[in-house]
Amino acid sequence: MRARRSRRVGLVAAIVVMVLAPASPAFAHAGGLTPRDHRVEVTGITPPVTGLSARMVNNGTQLQLRNAGTADVTVLPDRAGDPSRVVRAGDTVRLTDPRTQPPPLADGRAAEGRWRIPVRTTEGTSAVVGQIEWRPGPSPLPWWLLIAGLAITGSLLGRVPWWRAGLAAGVVAVTGAHVAHVAGSALAVTGQPFVSLFLGASGVGLVCWPLGAATVVAAARRSTHTAFVAAVVGAALVVAALPDFGSFGYSELPFAWPASTDRLLLASTLGGGAGLAAGGFVGMRRQLSGSEPLPGATEST
């Protein structure tokens, strides 16, 4: 009987490997945006141009110009011979202009300062002006401790008498955190369709989100597969969120809501996912010990 149970646990482990091995992590954030430690802002247009507004988008990497006036606006190049960019009346354009992105300093920081991009209209010549502000990132230590605490707490779910319900609740919470993280990342991108950004940034989430629903169903039916599915979902969510691990140490995150919210969602996904993986395997060990039936085993009446 024990050899039979061992073969089944080995099969479970093999399935986990097959599910996770081909999973390739998504970009750290939607649209290929990356965290930074400096903020780029537009401070004004001097002198003002009728109908023209400007702001930085996509985590400060692009300048967006919206021309709500009746005359075209020409963005003058930095160097002679470079082409000009025309913003037609009623149009919105996004420019990746190196004048708004000073090169990094030798110590890895970005140079602080002000920038200026001249524009020409029928009213004359004006300039879109802005600044770059260095903002050191927070210490990642508190977030690492939160990840460790959530992982330990999650691993204990496999030991409680109501372990099926505990694992199912954990799967719902961690999956929800990952969905919110991906949604906030996609909403932070300007100029691209939300759906394609959301799907592209979800990565392994497209597989493990439906498995999260399967975990809840399995727990409700008191299925012997609850622990296995919860372990797979937890491990897959860790794989999906791991590329964003470095975000804890940056001040400016490409996220639609406050950066602290993104860090909390990311820590919940990483720590909670690791806890679910551990708690699921603890539940499977309980089944191996005979206190709970293994997946595929016939429960005695």
pLDDT above 80: residue 120 = yes
pTM of the predicted structure, to 2 decimals: 0.84
Q: What is the pLDDT of residue 61?
A: 95
Angstrom distances, CA of residue 213 to CA of 10, 162, 199: 24, 18, 18
- Cβ atoms of 139 and 202 closer than 8 Å: no
Span 140-179, pLDDT tens digits: 999 999 999 999 999 998 888 888 999 999 999 999 999 9
The region, left, alpha or beta by phi > 0 then psi within -120 to 50, assigned to residue 112 is beta
Angle between helices 163-187 and 226-241 (to 10 degrees): 30
- Report the DSSP pairing between strands 124-134 and 52-57: unpaired
| Nearest Cα residue to 233 out of 10, 9, 20 | 20
- Cβ atoms of 16 and 232 closer than 8 Å: yes
Q: What is the pLDDT of residue 208?
A: 87
Number of other residues whose CB lies within 10 A of the CB of residue 70: 10
More reliable by pLDDT, 10 or 130: 130
Q: How far is residue 215's CA from residue 219's CA, in Å, rounded to a whole number?
A: 6
Mean pLDDT of the chain: 86
Q: How far is residue 276's CA from residue 176's CA, in Å, rounded to a whole number?
A: 14
Span 222-273, pLDDT tens digits: 888 889 999 999 999 999 999 999 999 999 999 999 999 999 999 999 999 9
Q: What is the pLDDT of residue 283?
A: 85
Could you give the 3-state DSSP secondary structure of residue 42? strand
- What is the average pLDDT across 115-123? 94
Amino acid identity for residue 278 in this structure: A
Characterize 90-128 residue by residue with b for buried, 16 or more Cβ atoms within 10 angstroms of its Cβ, and e for exposed. eeebbbebeebbeeeeeeeebeeeebebebbbeeeebbb
* pLDDT tier, 110 (very low <50, low <70, confident <90, very high otherwise): low
Q: How far is residue 67's CA from residue 90's CA, in Å, rounded to a whole number?
A: 5
pLDDT above 60: residue 295 = no
* pLDDT tier, 288 (very low <50, low <70, confident <90, very high otherwise): confident
Q: 88-96 long-range CB contacts below 8 Å, 24 or more apart?
A: 89/51, 91/66, 91/67, 92/64, 92/65, 92/66, 92/67, 93/64, 93/65, 94/57, 94/58, 94/62, 94/63, 94/64, 94/65, 94/190, 94/191, 95/62, 95/63, 95/64, 95/65, 96/61, 96/62, 96/63
* pLDDT tier, 301 (very low <50, low <70, confident <90, very high otherwise): very low
Q: What is the pLDDT of residue 8?
A: 46
pLDDT above 50: residue 68 = yes
Q: How far is residue 291's CA from residue 289's CA, in Å, rounded to a whole number?
A: 6
Q: What is the pLDDT of residue 23?
A: 44
Q: What is the pLDDT of residue 3?
A: 52
Label residue 276 exposed, middle or buried (CB < 10 Å: 0-12, 13-18, 19+): buried
More reliable by pLDDT, 203 or 61: 61
